[in-house]
Structure 1
Amino acid sequence: MTDQETDQDTDQETDEDTRYEAVRSRDARFDGVFFFAVETTGIYCRPSCPAVTPKRANVRFFATAAAAQGSGFRACRRCRPDAVPGSAEWNVRADVVGRAMRLIADGVVDREGVAGLAVRLGYSARQVQRQLTAELGAGPVALARAQRAHTARVLLQTTGLPVTEIAFASGFASVRQFNDTIRAVYASTPSELRAAAPKNDRGRRTATPSAGIPLRLAHRGPYQAGPVLDLLAREAVPGVEEVSGPPGARTYRRTLRLPYGTGIAAVDERPGTARTGLGAHPGGWLDVRLHLTDLRDLTTAVQRLRRLFDLDADPYAVDERLAADPRLAPLVAARPGLRSPGTADPEELAVRALVGPAEAERLVRRYGKALDAPCGTLTHLFPEPAVLAGAEPGGPLGALTAALADHAVRLDPGADRDDAEDALRALPGLDARTVAEIRARALGDPDVAPPGLDVPDSWRPWRSYALNHLRAAGEWESR
């Protein structure tokens, strides 16, 4: 064995020892960052699982739930490891693995297969398979399968839908494939899994697509819902969005254009999610209700809401770095866990960043597609780029929407951020500040600083979060 191989083995042992300490302390900060499995029981868990800590010799670690499942381990029924927030790493990273994970989460493999995923990434299917397997221990099919299984469990335990409908709504190609996967992942039949639902989920099982699907979208650490709702309220475009209710108990509602149909999402501001102080916080969730015209859109709708509310962020890493800066330290102490909101529709965000709220409202009234069944003040979908490009082809708006419509500018979850910024800068009428906003919000870049603002390098790689602290404190306005 070479010295280099010895060093690598030592580093791996050290890393795994650190992970085991996280498991021993049931540290929720690492939920979703890694998973551990117990060879003597055949079960895999999240780090914060409340069960008795297994012996170190019996524990194996995995980067993803799919890798644990691929090694023959079943999901723990007590800690439900499939329900943890996603790893913040996939949102931060700009390489092919990070981009692939964002696309898989958006349901691209279910809709377009591995070949479609590879085309979006600009690699061959074999290259994508090799890179994901080498780093994560699972390829794109296994990762998508794990996601389908989670979607199926949610539908089984929170709705009264027939099992056959759930199978296809979750993205499975057949009922047999669905049954086999549920047995492999949860060691239960679909009926047994439904019967084993936690009491809170059983009480909500009367939910139907028409009544909406109730969900809890998990996040790690503290979550400052107030500033996020404040921003969304200021930006809300009538007909497409609304924020209602008193401060501390508001509800954000919006329409969604999805691959198979349309949807309406309602997200509640949970009292008590904004904690003060920098101490450890186990995390929590946002309550959501989704009304979908096609249940196959459930996974995609959930992921788009997660990006909008930045639910997969690692607030511990962000706060630790920013709190070291004298200017930001009191702001971080006042608002631990402050997020950097994204968007539920990147192309919509790009248009709105260019034209502003008043013009966006006009575009919705004139060109937005009316919902078949309006819901209160929500009446329209935001107009698609192709519709806008055809209706108003001139000027910066026409240039942007035409580029979005013909994919000269790509803003989907797997887009290369640098390529997208270069393409945006080449369009007429988009100033550097608008491009920066699109990069931060539509592309989810955590490290964007707008031009003209003196931002120190010590805020890297979380400059987007630093600016949200300044905005929440009234020290900076994006517009």
Structure 2
Amino acid sequence: MYQAILNHEQKYNGKFLTCVKSTGIYCLPSCPARKPLLKNIRFLATEQEAIAEGFRICKRCRPDLFYRGENQDENLFNEMLVRIRAHPAAFQNIGTLAKSCGVSSTKLNELVRVHAHISPAELLNRERIAAACLALVTTSQKILDIGLAVGFESEASFHRQFLSQTAMTPSAYRSLRDTSEFTLKLPADFTPDYAWRYHLRDKSSLSEYLDEHGFTKALWINHVPVIIHLKIDNATAYCYWQQPSTSDVNSQPVGVLIHQQVIRLLGLNTNVSAFQSSAKQNSQMARLLAQSSPLYIPMTATPFESLVWAIIGQQINLTFAAALRQALIKLAGPVVGDSSLHIHPSAINIAALEPQQLTDIRFSRAKAQYLITAAKAIVDGELDLDQLATGSAITAEKKLCAIKGIGPWTARYTMMRGLGFADCTPVGDSGLHTALQQFYQLDKRPTATEVEQLMKPFSPFRTQATTYLWESLRKKS
């Protein structure tokens, strides 16, 4: 037992507790704190015994959280997010943020990478811009005052970061309050081809299409259907929309919500430059990048649409999955106004279905039940996908996998394409396993465990790496 605590072995957590007589605290065997001499230790079997003997909780390893099934780092990350969102300007730099969390800068970097899949600086900027966006459309404050209030040191840095994350200036964003169109400034290396291919995997889709005029899709905005039209010309995206009816729901302006969905559809939140920079010190990443032009990772218009696609796609090929999706949209997706476009069904639409209605359109009994169960979890408030998208990746995967019928592949695909996490590996994906076999020139397809190992060199950009690997299969087909 003493050797186990000297080695900080996590496998003994829950089997016994280390109670230090000199300090009066009790710890998990894996506690990172400096270990006392054996003569100063009592080993007890349960937390109740330790408390009864008068020992107190260790503030470093938090055995109380362990025995409640909670994770200390997960709690710390979630508490940190609450503090940042309440006062984004309170943290001038990463050192200030680390100090407020009671951890080192190294620990903070690890914490944010694991839970948010970005760096602490990127997290701060993301939350500052989110606060600025809200202020721009809900107040009449001067733009500079808003930038300073959320924590930026100058007007130039505010404008630079705002443009990077929203593809428009703060003043243009403010105009989303009362407009029916907007333009986005695209990165110089952006091309829409991959986004169009992703959104049109179903060549006969009822909810979106691409023609000489651009991309058209039906979306839910403020709980009513809207048709958006999106055209890419050189380095600019032009978007306008038609709203057959108005919403009585008190929510953000229509333009703001459509802007969010267009950013998702085009994959403009992809950190391509950071991926490319990492390749300079990573030979495997460099070799992967050399196989394709830069890829911006498109997402589904809403997280729920991604979850539906993932459940439909479980253990079947893409052609059949597209056919099932089309049948589902025809069954449960309302037609928008006088158009021929259906809108992708909402969670409410699908939760109202009976399994028999889905098996009648070639869903398996199990898949029909999984889809309806997931939709009901969202309608009942048990699963909040929008909240998961801006929280911890660890929390998101646990919440998703707690729903019957959702395993690691379905959860991670949803996290990639629906929630926007940057460091996901959809283990179990047939295409990924095949692509890795070819990339590493392996004699046989890698197992799930081997896939996890083979993808490690691409962290913290495994979502982008996965996309490049999928694309490598298309080019060889």
- What TM-score range do you get, normalising by the shorter chain? 0.5 to 0.7
Q: Against the structure 1 CA distance between its residues 370 and 130, is the aligned structure 2 distance closer, same or farther, given a 3 Å change threshold? A: same
**Cα distance per residue 1:85-111 (max 9 Å; x no partner):** xxxxxxxxx99999xxxxxxxxxxxxx
Residue 403 of structure 1, aligned match among 349, 365, 377: 377
Deviation for aligned residue 1:447: 1.0
CA distance, structure 2, for counterparts of residue 459 and residue 183 of structure 1: 38
Code of the residue aligned with 1:287 in structure 2: it is: Y
Q: Aligned with 1:470: secondary structure?
A: helix
CA RMSD after TM alignment: 4.2
1:72-221 counterparts in 2 under 5 A?
Answer: 128-130=85-87, 133-135=90-92, 146-147=132-133, 170-172=137-139, 178=140, 181=142, 213-221=180-188
Q: Which residue of 2 aligns with 1:332?
A: 289
Q: Against the structure 1 CA distance between its residues 141 and 322, is the aligned structure 2 distance closer, same or farther, given a 3 Å change threshold? A: closer
* TM-score (norm: length of structure 2): 0.53
Q: Aligned with 1:370: secondary structure?
A: coil
Deviation for aligned residue 1:349: 1.4
Gapped regions of structure 1 (runs ≥ 5)? 1-93, 99-120, 151-169, 173-177, 187-206, 272-283
Check the 8 A contact 2:74/2:395 in 1, yes or no: no
Code of the residue aligned with 2:260 in structure 1: it is: Q
Code of the residue aligned with 2:303 in structure 1: it is: P
Check the 8 A contact 1:448/1:464 in 2, yes or no: yes
Q: Aligned with 1:445: secondary structure?
A: coil
Q: Which residue of 2 aligns with 1:458?
A: 457
Q: Which residue of 1 aligns with 2:240?
A: 289
Q: Aligned with 1:419: secondary structure?
A: helix
Q: Aligned with 2:200: secondary structure?
A: helix
Q: Which residue of 2 aligns with 1:430?
A: 406
Deviation for aligned residue 1:299: 0.9
Code of the residue aligned with 2:383 in structure 1: it is: V
CA distance, structure 1, for counterparts of residue 127 and residue 286 of structure 2: 43
Q: Aligned with 1:316: secondary structure?
A: helix
Q: Against the structure 1 CA distance between its residues 357 and 405, is the aligned structure 2 distance closer, same or farther, given a 3 Å change threshold? A: farther
Q: Against the structure 1 CA distance between its residues 410 and 318, is the aligned structure 2 distance closer, same or farther, given a 3 Å change threshold? A: same
Q: Against the structure 1 CA distance between its residues 144 and 438, is the aligned structure 2 distance closer, same or farther, given a 3 Å change threshold? A: closer
Q: Which residue of 2 aligns with 1:298?
A: 255
Structure whose alpha-carbon radius of gyration is higher: 2
Q: Which residue of 2 aligns with 1:38?
A: none
CA distance, structure 1, for counterparts of residue 126 and residue 467 of structure 2: 34
CA distance, structure 1, for counterparts of residue 224 and residue 382 of structure 2: 25
CA distance, structure 1, for counterparts of residue 90 and residue 207 of structure 2: 40
Q: Against the structure 1 CA distance between its residues 433 and 185, is the aligned structure 2 distance closer, same or farther, given a 3 Å change threshold? A: closer
CA distance, structure 2, for counterparts of residue 427 and residue 183 of structure 1: 45
1:248-287 counterparts in 2 under 5 A?
Answer: 251-259=214-222, 261-271=224-234, 284-287=235-238
Residue 365 of structure 1, aligned match among 330, 339, 345: 330
Deviation for aligned residue 1:362: 1.6
Deviation for aligned residue 1:462: 0.8
CA distance, structure 2, for counterparts of residue 127 and residue 253 of structure 1: 37
Deviation for aligned residue 1:443: 1.1
CA distance, structure 1, for counterparts of residue 145 and residue 398 of structure 2: 45
Q: Against the structure 1 CA distance between its residues 97 and 445, is the aligned structure 2 distance closer, same or farther, given a 3 Å change threshold? A: farther
CA distance, structure 1, for counterparts of residue 127 and residue 273 of structure 2: 31
Deviation for aligned residue 1:298: 0.8
Q: Against the structure 1 CA distance between its residues 222 and 437, is the aligned structure 2 distance closer, same or farther, given a 3 Å change threshold? A: same
Deviation for aligned residue 1:318: 0.9
Check the 8 A contact 1:213/1:290 in 2, yes or no: yes
Q: Which residue of 1 aligns with 2:65?
A: none
Code of the residue aligned with 2:240 in structure 1: it is: R
**Cα distance per residue 1:135-183 (max 9 Å; x no partner):** 5899999966742676xxxxxxxxxxxxxxxxxxx445xxxxx4x6479
Q: Which residue of 1 aligns with 2:66?
A: none
CA distance, structure 2, for counterparts of residue 97 and residue 298 of structure 1: 35
CA distance, structure 2, for counterparts of residue 97 and residue 301 of structure 1: 33
Code of the residue aligned with 2:348 in structure 1: it is: A
Higher relative contact order (Cα pairs below 8 Å, separated by 6+ residues) = 1
Code of the residue aligned with 2:473 in structure 1: it is: G
Check the 8 A contact 1:129/1:140 in 2, yes or no: no
Check the 8 A contact 1:318/1:462 in 2, yes or no: yes
CA distance, structure 2, for counterparts of residue 476 and residue 402 of structure 1: 40
CA distance, structure 2, for counterparts of residue 183 and residue 321 of structure 1: 33
Q: Aligned with 1:439: secondary structure?
A: helix
Q: Which residue of 2 aligns with 1:390?
A: 352
Q: Against the structure 1 CA distance between its residues 361 and 129, is the aligned structure 2 distance closer, same or farther, given a 3 Å change threshold? A: same
CA distance, structure 2, for counterparts of residue 262 and residue 171 of structure 1: 24
CA distance, structure 2, for counterparts of residue 231 and residue 127 of structure 1: 34
Deviation for aligned residue 1:373: 3.5
CA distance, structure 2, for counterparts of residue 132 and residue 465 of structure 1: 31
2:376 aligned with 1:414? no
Q: Which residue of 2 aligns with 1:319?
A: 276
CA distance, structure 1, for counterparts of residue 415 and residue 230 of structure 2: 24
CA distance, structure 1, for counterparts of residue 457 and residue 128 of structure 2: 39
* TM-score (norm: length of structure 1): 0.53
Deviation for aligned residue 1:396: 1.1
Check the 8 A contact 2:397/2:408 in 1, yes or no: no
Deviation for aligned residue 1:464: 1.0
CA distance, structure 1, for counterparts of residue 133 and residue 417 of structure 2: 25
